[in-house]
Chains A and B, each alone.
Chain A
Amino acid sequence: MRAVLVLEDGKVFHGSGFGAKATKIGELVFNTSMTGYQEALTDPSCAGQILLMTYPLIGNYGINAIDYESNRIHSSGFVVRQMSPDHEHRNSEKSLDLFLKDHGIPGIYGLDTRSIVRNIRDHGVMPAAISTGDADPKDLLRKIHEFDYSGQDYVKAVTTVKPQKFGKGKKIALIDYGAKMGIVRDLVAHGCEVHFIPATTAAKEIKALEPDGIVLSNGPGNPAVPEYAYDTIREISGYRPIFGICLGHQLLAHVHGGTTKKLKFGHRGGNHAVMDLIKNKIAITTQNHSYVVDNVPKGFEVTHIHVNDKTIEGMRNDNLQIFSVQYHPEASPGSHDSKYLFDEFMKMIK
């Protein structure tokens, strides 16, 4: 099956297709993690994005039942240098190819992915089209120009419709802006009863649950878009300890008077060193974000910074009992170095 990837700047890359026969438009982003493609594809934060893995050999260990970050693929398309035609792992249940097929997602392989990464690095992330049919690149380019990633409300598209409950113990309200199951797993492992609630849940409904603590999850898209979440967050700030992760962190900044900006090509990968300014120690973290907090709100202090580009990676407000990070302490995929943040959260709610 032939396939094509067209970028907004007009560059066209031909390759072989796999997965579903389909055409999709999305923001083309690259991820440098060398393992964890299943987790990345099923991460709701990837909604609206075509995902390119920089590691060239993908699919080697197949797809298993335990590494889902949600119940479906959220990426619009998948770009790899080499798709493994076979898969070998004790947990593997199906091939990457079949997985994409089952979820209606197109994939492309056999193209010079590194040259695409360098293009994005130099010119920034951009919309792109992936098509495993015989689409005309010109038509695709037209569709690309109609696409607006930053204006879309992806949170609404991915959040849970009905509240769900996991685990037993301390009661945690986890507001699902597109939460990874990794967060749920970590909270459950820390002895929590997790109330997994829609992004639109009102503050009084949350208070009615009488949680011991609240987690604002990660999620896709521009933090300026889901304004419906702002009031809730404002009203629960100071009510119970709050832990914000990724989009949750950015929303906290917006609500309390900080600002965010979009990075040229984001941070996506499992190798980013973050300095914990309190412990004066680094952690290797998993990152997956386009937007970043560039001004923390009044009353908040910066607690973590990125070792390389010095962007803000974490903040806290002790009066309001809020702390949040830009990266993913739940990992999945990636380093477990930041799991200690869950311990700190548990200390806050005891």
Chain B
Amino acid sequence: MKVLVIGSGPIVIGQSAEFDYSGTQACKALREEGISVVLVNSNPATIQTDKEIADIVYIEPLTRETLEKIIEKEKPEGLIATMGGQTGLNLAMELKKSGILDKYNVKFLGTDAESIDLAESREHFNNLMRKIGVPILPGHVVSDFPEAKKFADKTGYPIIIRPSFTLGGTGGGTAYDEGELKKILGLALRLSATGEALVEKSALGWGEFEYEVIRDQFGNASIICNMENIDPMGVHTGESIVAAPSQTLSDRDHQKLRNATLKIVHAIGIKGGCNVQFSMNQETGEFVVIEVNPRLSRSSALASKATGYPIARVATKIALGHPLPEIRNAITETSAAFEPALDYCVVKIPRWPFDKFPMTSRVIGTQMKSTGEVMAIGRTFPEALNKAIRSLEIKIPKMKPEEHLYPPTDLRLFAILESFRQGKTTDELHRITKINKWFLNRFREITDLEKKISKGLSMEMLLEAKKAGFPDMKIAALTGKTEAEIRRMRKSGGIIPTYKIVDSCAGEFQAVTPYYYSVYEDENEAKPMPGRKVVVVGSGPIRIGQGIEFDYCCSHAAIALTEMGYRSIMINNNPETVSTDFDTSDRLYFEPLTFEDIMNVIENENPEGVIVQLGGQTSINVAQKLSEAGVKILGTDIDGIDIAEDRERFRHLCEKIGIAQPENATALGEAEALTIAARIGYPVVVRPSYVIAGRAMEIVYNESDLRRYMAEAVDVSENKPVLIDKYLDNAIECEVDAISDGSKVFIGGIMEHIEPAGVHSGDANIVLPSIRLTGKDRKTITEYTEKLAKSLGIIGFVNIQYVVRDGIVYILEANPRASRTVPFVSKAIDIPLAKYAIHCMLGRKLPKLECKMNHFAVKSIVFPFLKLLGTDIKLGPEMRSTGETMGLGKSFEMAYYKALLAAGVRIEDENRAAFISVKDEDKKEVPKLSKALKELGFTIYGTLGTVGSVEHAITIPKIGHGHPDAVELIESGHISFVINTPTKGGRANTDGYRMRRASIQKGIPCITNIATAYELLKALKKLEKIEVRPFDKYAS
């Protein structure tokens, strides 16, 4: 039997690593029954697209056309639609509705199309709820404003607007008056797949609860987990701080919601996993069902990790027709038909990207803005909460708490704590935030304890603080001591953590799966494992600049370690990932990734060494301290890491070994910075040292901009210097992922950026192999890479970025760790780099490896601009993308087109029209660009300043100077794509900004870079019919 599994594509806000996790579990569950799995996903940075996970892997755009080709070729008997998030579900529904599945006789396995439709279509769902007597909020499906207004006038504001079939609440919102209703509804209708949206009475301020349920076709069902959103209604569940299980429901309340959940899944006919969201007025006990997700979801990933119950695995078995009672619970070896009992408390906190998008409003609401999340486990609520807070790896800014309490921002939790410190009461904060007083009282417990500790620390109080989840660092700050002093005091008093098992049954049965969390109690259940063992430090929450790629590498480490006869110990705190799945490593410690927490695990296990190269900057950042504590860092040693990370030392090394760098220097203050910039000449690239993903990196063109930057940048990393580099314009940027065993260096590939240098490498479109570099350039890059890897003493991964101009190769930086392009390169050359890197770290020599590429691979990216209003979409040295896609083809053009297609760029064949508006520097390109566009049948629109001299071009008045203006034209839907290059330093509310924003909201590709535009046109021009192949068959 052959089964098709559809992945979820690139990481976007609202759809993250959780679908790699569910898809991977599904593939394993299918294959253990001898079923051949065909997997399709456009995201190369996923474990599910590894050949070890699925039998036949297609890395192709997730569109109906490509899927039809794959189905035609592979002829699968079945399809599982519920593992790839909303993307996979919508695509499967499209395949069903367009008759493709029936044409090729592909059956829906698990929850079928009719059931999905019942759950997803607002109208059908509401009718069904009325029929089975489950209460819903009064609401109305509308397709235009007058209808919505009529409803709102009758019901009263606020009104919730939800578009049908969208992800993460995109385009939804809460309208407090008619003006807002008009605005939000307009966007919602544009984004809705059906042109409809639901307007609903708001349950603002009510409690929000979620139930994760599993049901088989025979009607057996069990509730895996219930969860309580600490943020009441009005905040999307993905944006809420969540506790599991519920904390404030009595059994009577809980059974009421449980019964409703079962009624709903039976009526819909779920065959697999399902998520049901409720809202309850906790003053009256009245409740309503808010929505149902008939698929695996972010919440189901959280529920899986919170309970230890493998929902995706069991859902897959159900899809194959197995009755629930006959499926085994792999953790306890008992039946999967039970409801997990927790003997701990779980807290999830979202991770938001506002540090990257200072212009975006921090207010959180019904639309998701967070990119990832952390989870923590404790035996008390404050313990779990404190562990979750430090797992976020954020610096809590100074703030005025009252500005964050209501409407809530990402900082509300910290604002509440600060308010308690300032003497506010639970009642006052409840009035403002509507958060249940039980939770507020737990927050207050934390600040009360802080107060107590700051008055003097006894051993007894230290134990109390540790039991409440306080890190040593915080206790140190409260008592004026150092972290090391607290650690010593703790150990002298015998206060060390013990580890408990997450066993899904509260200790009732013997658990065989080693999944641990720390507490300060009596019994330690994690007796050190026998044998040779290695700790892998994970990468924490998904954030911009540190995405799923690192989890991919960590998961690979676990697999490689096992193959080499080691036992793998994973430490991570991200519930969405494969690395935190119960069978990825030999032992999983679900813990924060601070020095203290990692060190505690190391002291408990006493491993041979620790791998820090794979968890992005998170794990590299703890390397120094671990090494100082006597822990063996496997692979590149700490001095090598330091040389690469310390710009001054790095510069000296490059000088010594004769590798050119763009002229650069380090400045400690404004005066020094200005002197240096004047010396090396503007434009310059400035950034703080020890950066992650170009944080606060900027290209500065003049002195006044540099002054402004210095004033703002100091906050980013105190007492660390600012780096100033000469900016090389009109140069080719490229980068290398290489591995070394200490003597031999293997270069996975020399990747070339399609955009000119200056666009952050994480945001650039990248092609492999390079297309513009000369043979000589490549040779120099290879030589430099080998030389540098040896000089740094690289053992394992290194990623090096270069710029090439006028035949001279300059080095930009070297990262002594796995980069985000590792999975991309591995898939392009079909060699698992991570595996060999780990072999090197453990002392093996590299075998003879050969890159055979007979094809092209292009990496493209997706941005969160649609979700983050107020953000401009221009690109620069600061990374802003959330995810990536891969396009493969025999020609560069095909690969590039596919990568863009996968990233959501669609240009239809008919009625092609382009809108051009470029900055002055780019105007000289307009005639050439226009010619190329016309050849492809585009009608050209533009402002007088840009296209005035272009023949047959249609000129459009400036915004607000006539009708239709540029924004109106874009909104009208006449334009197939926009080319708009932003002026430097451009701020919000410029015309260019408004055009880019309008195109994003309309879903029209907007190219902000001339080079990208040319390449896209080249691709369109040469485009043949799309061909699909398994990714490892392109080379042949």
Mark A residues whose CB is within 8 Å of B. Answer: 13, 30, 32-36, 39, 54-57, 60-61, 64, 66-67, 81-82, 84-91, 111-115, 117-118, 121, 269-273, 275, 280-282, 284, 307-308, 331-337
Contacts and interface: CB of A to CB of B under 8 A. Distances in A.
B250 A91 contact: yes
A271 B338 contact: yes
Contacts of A13: 522
12 contacts: A30-B507, A32-B505, A33-B251, A57-B345, A112-B521, A112-B522, A112-B523, A118-B523, A273-B325, A282-B324, A284-B223, A334-B255
Interface in B318-342: 324-325, 334-335, 337-342
B325 A275 contact: yes
Contact of A117 (B222, B344, B507): B507
A272 B525 CA distance: 25
Given A81-B380, A86-B441, 13 more contacts: A33-B251, A36-B251, A56-B344, A61-B248, A88-B437, A112-B522, A114-B500, A115-B522, A121-B508, A269-B341, A271-B340, A280-B218, A332-B251
The winner among B285, B339, B500, B523 for most chain A CB atoms within 10 A is: B339
A275 B344 CA distance: 29
B339 A284 contact: yes
Nearest to B430: A88
A284 B523 contact: no
A90 B506 contact: no
Nearest to B258: A335
Shortest Cβ-Cβ A-B pairs, 3 listed: A115-B523, A36-B251, A333-B251
Interface string B267-295: 00000000000000011110000000000
The winner among A56, A118, A121 for most chain B CB atoms within 10 A is: A56
Interface residues of B, number: 53
Given A32-B506, A67-B250, A90-B283, A114 B343 contact: yes
B245 interface: yes
B250 A64 contact: yes
B229 to A, nearest CB: 16
B491 interface: no
B249 interface: yes
Contacts of B380: 56-57, 81-82
Interface of B: 218-220, 222-223, 245-252, 254-255, 258-259, 262, 282-285, 324-325, 334-335, 337-345, 379-381, 436-438, 441, 500, 505-510, 521-523, 525
The winner among A32, A269, A270 for most chain B CB atoms within 10 A is: A32
Contact of B334 (A82, A118, A308): A308
A331 B254 CA distance: 12
A64 B218 CA distance: 38
B251 A35 contact: yes
Contacts of A67: 250-252
B895 to A, nearest CB: 51
A60 B438 contact: yes
A33 B340 CA distance: 10
Contacts of A82: 379-380
B507 A118 contact: yes
Contacts of B248: 60-61, 88-89
A33 B508 CA distance: 12
Q: Is the interface of B mostly helix, strand, loop or mixed?
A: loop
A273 B222 contact: yes
The winner among B249, B325, B507 for most chain A CB atoms within 10 A is: B507
Contacts of A55: 245, 341-343, 506
A115 B339 contact: no
Contact of A307 (B251, B335, B510): B335
Contacts of A34: 245, 341-342
Nearest to A332: B251
Contacts of A117: 343, 506-508
B252 A90 contact: no
Nearest to A40: B251
A333 B256 CA distance: 12
Nearest to B245: A34
A273 B245 CA distance: 20
B33 to A, nearest CB: 21
Nearest to B256: A336
A1 B975 CA distance: 75
A331 B341 contact: no
B355 to A, nearest CB: 33
The winner among A54, A336, A337 for most chain B CB atoms within 10 A is: A54
Contacts of B262: 337
A207 B331 CA distance: 52
A336 to B, nearest CB: 6
A56 to B, nearest CB: 5
A308 B338 contact: yes
A54 B343 contact: yes
Contacts of B342: 34, 55
Contacts of B252: 66-67
B250 A61 contact: yes
Contacts of B259: 336
Given A56-B379, A273-B325, A336 B436 contact: no
Contacts of B505: 32, 271
B901 to A, nearest CB: 46
A282 B258 contact: no
A282 B220 contact: yes
Contacts of A275: 325
A57 B381 CA distance: 8
A282 to B, nearest CB: 5
A90 B285 contact: yes
The winner among A81, A270, A273, A331 for most chain B CB atoms within 10 A is: A273
A60 B283 CA distance: 16
Contacts of A89: 248, 250, 282
B335 A281 contact: no
B334 A32 contact: no
A313 B437 CA distance: 41
Contacts of A121: 507-510
Contacts of A61: 248-250, 438
A334 B251 contact: yes
Contacts of A273: 222, 325, 335, 337-338
B500 to A, nearest CB: 6
Contact of B255 (A272, A281, A331): A331
A260 to B, nearest CB: 21
Contacts of A337: 262
Nearest to A37: B251
Contacts of B345: 56-57
B640 to A, nearest CB: 43
A85 B438 CA distance: 10
A81 B343 CA distance: 9
Contact of B343 (A84, A88, A113, A334): A113
Nearest to A62: B250
B225 to A, nearest CB: 10
A87 B248 CA distance: 9
Contacts of B246: 35
Given A84-B438, A89-B250, A281-B220, A271 B339 contact: yes
Nearest to B281: A90
A112 B500 CA distance: 11
Contacts of B438: 60-61, 84, 86-88
B207 to A, nearest CB: 11
A176 B880 CA distance: 69
B601 to A, nearest CB: 19
B523 A32 contact: no
A257 to B, nearest CB: 30
A335 B213 CA distance: 14
Contacts of A66: 252
The winner among B250, B285, B500 for most chain A CB atoms within 10 A is: B250
Contacts of B506: 32, 54-55, 114, 117, 269
Contacts of B339: 270-271, 284, 335
A232 to B, nearest CB: 33
A258 to B, nearest CB: 25
Given A112-B521, A112-B522, A35 B250 contact: yes
